[in-house]
């Protein structure tokens, strides 16, 4: 018997059959593509909590078990055994690179790590203290005008050129903007130091001066990027796919993804975590804020807690938790901040409100503390999330294209507004 689900309208007794599809892992899905044409009704799923929007072979998450895999490789294994660039390669080329492939990939990125410096004029047009995400989102959108040779979006091999360009240039844009805001002399990228180390070097270096990075600093930053590389159909990835489905240019899609990531419910959360820890200030004030988080009449939320998908633990937070403690031991951080963070963790992990709602520390709880310990200013955190996530967005964009014909993303609605006003 075919795998189907029967749905019955209890008002009329009429029934319809819908196919059930199975993936290689995870819940089956009911294919409701013909739902409207068969029943004359739409389905309603605000926030898409029960909706699979596409087929994908990139990332698998089991939120109940706290499992995350990229192309079949467990995230904890990748974090322990591979570098960020290996994972970028894995996402884009669908396999882990050999030593030679990784080296030639690094060289390709090195050649593309400079930017057309006319684009820097945009920074002058921004008001003082403009958020780095405003600078990054506009610069990436502007890249579609500067790198026109990549405009054949129907050619997947052209797309790879564009993908390398974005992975290589985004760290340069972020570091240049950081230095521009502070009036520091610009430091050009040097990928011979390694892709990850180069970014910290670009933030810290001064001409004719040495930059000594501790191995634990590079290791912790590498882990932050690697653990953010992809996360299946989250809000920003769905945005990249939605914009891509209109056949807009990939630079426009990625720029839109940056906009979606900016919000504090998504990539802006790690910035919010530190702001909140600073606002709490001392471990003695934690109880007061926990009470606010639990108060139904207070919109306050504990930043860095909870996740739409993970209802057991966030495997990325687990990896980063260990590195956070190692980093803090080795280099030191504002101890009050870490005391506040540990007190929040301790209370929330044992409090009925958080336990019953399955609210655990998410990746941003620890990534914020790591970035803070690395001396990176709060307002840069979301831009660094972009640096980590861009390979994921690019691989998802490419997969959507490969699964052509691409259907434009166009949900419907339940209309609840006024009717027949003019009659």
150, 228, 307, 314: the active-site residue: 307
Query: Contact letters (x/-) for ligand CMC, 268-287, by CB under 6 A?
Result: -x------------------
Per CB under 6 A, does 133 bind ligand CMC?
A: no
Residue 391 and residue 159 in contact, taking contact as beta carbons nearer than 8 Å: no
Per CB under 6 A, does 289 bind ligand CMC?
A: no
Least distance to ligand CMC, CB of residue 365, Å:
7
Of 170 and 382, nearer to ligand CMC (C-beta) is 382
Handedness of CA 279, 282, 288, 291 (dihedral sign): positive
Contact residues for 116 (Cβ-Cβ < 8 A; gap 6+): 146
Of 83 and 231, nearer to ligand CMC (C-beta) is 231
The residue within the footprint of ligand CMC, chosen from 143, 163, 303, 370 (CB under 6 A), is 303
Peptide bond into 405 cis (omega under 30): yes
Contact residues for 309 (Cβ-Cβ < 8 A; gap 6+): 61, 63
Per CB under 6 A, does 293 bind ligand CMC?
A: yes
What is the spatial distance between Cα 246 and Cα 253, in angstroms, rounded to a whole number? Answer: 10
Active site residue 307: yes
Least distance to ligand CMC, CB of residue 301, Å:
4
Query: Which of these ranges, 107-115, 278-286, 296-304, 336-344, lies near ligand CMC under the rule CB under 6 A?
Result: 296-304
Alpha helix positions (H), 205-249: 215-227, 235-244
The residue within the footprint of ligand CMC, chosen from 89, 176, 305, 393 (CB under 6 A), is 305
Active site residue 70: no
Size of the site for ligand CMC (CB under 6 A): 20
Contact residues for 292 (Cβ-Cβ < 8 A; gap 6+): 298, 300
**Cα-based distances in Å from 7 to 4, 279, 284, 391:** 10, 51, 55, 40
Least distance to ligand CMC, CB of residue 88, Å:
19
- How would you classify the pairing of strands 59-62 and 4-9? unpaired
User: Binding residues for ligand CMC, per CB under 6 A?
Assistant: 231, 234, 265-267, 269, 293, 301-308, 357, 359, 362-364
Residue numbers annotated as active site: 307, 364
């Amino acid at each position: 018997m075919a795998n189907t689900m029967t749905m019955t309208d209890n008002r009329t007794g009429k029934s319809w059959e819908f196919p059930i599809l199975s993936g290689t892992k995870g819940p089956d899905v009911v294919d409701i593509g013909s739902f409207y044409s068969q029943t004359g009704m739409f389905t309603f799923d605000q926030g898409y909590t029960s909706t699979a929007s596409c087929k994908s072979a990139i990332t698998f998450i089991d939120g109940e078990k706290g499992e995350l895999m990229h192309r079949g490789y467990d995230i904890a294994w990748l974090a322990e055994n591979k570098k960020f660039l290996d994972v970028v390669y894995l996402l884009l080329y669908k396999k882990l690179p050999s030593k030679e492939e990784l080296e030639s990939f690094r060289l390709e990125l090195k050649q593309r790590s400079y930017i057309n410096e006319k684009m820097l004029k945009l920074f002058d047009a921004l008001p003082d203290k403009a958020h780095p995400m405003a600078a990054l989102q506009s610069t990436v959108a502007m890249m579609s005008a500067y790198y026109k040779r990549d405009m054949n979006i129907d050619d997947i091999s052209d797309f790879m050129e564009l993908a390398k360009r974005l992975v290589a240039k985004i760290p340069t844009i972020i570091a240049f903007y950081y230095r521009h805001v502070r009036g520091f002399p610009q430091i050009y990228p040097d990928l011979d130091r390694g892709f990850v180390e180069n970014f910290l070097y670009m933030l810290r270096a001064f001409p004719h001066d040495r930059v000594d990075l501790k191995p634990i600093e590079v290791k912790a930053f590498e882990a932050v990027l690697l653990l953010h590389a992809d996360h299946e159909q989250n809000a920003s990835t769905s945005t990249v796919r939605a914009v891509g489905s209109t056949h807009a240019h990939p630079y426009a899609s990625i720029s839109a993804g940056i906009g979606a990531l900016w919000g504090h419910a998504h990539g802006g959360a790690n910035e919010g975590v530190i702001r909140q820890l600073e606002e709490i200030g001392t471990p003695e004030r934690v109880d007061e804020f926990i009470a606010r988080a639990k108060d139904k009449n207070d919109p306050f939320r504990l930043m860095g807690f909870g996740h739409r998908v993970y209802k057991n633990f966030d495997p990325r937070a687990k990896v980063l938790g260990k590195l956070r403690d190692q980093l803090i031991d080795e280099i030191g951080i504002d101890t009050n901040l870490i005391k506040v963070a540990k007190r929040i963790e301790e209370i929330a992990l044992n409090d009925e409100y958080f336990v019953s709602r399955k609210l655990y520390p998410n990746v941003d709880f620890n990534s914020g503390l790591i970035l803070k310990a690395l001396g990176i200013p709060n307002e840069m955190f979301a831009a660094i999330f972009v640096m980590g996530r861009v390979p994921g967005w690019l691989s998802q964009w490419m997969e959507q294209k490969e699964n052509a014909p691409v259907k434009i993303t166009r949900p419907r609605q339940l209309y609840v507004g006024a009717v027949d006003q003019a009659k």
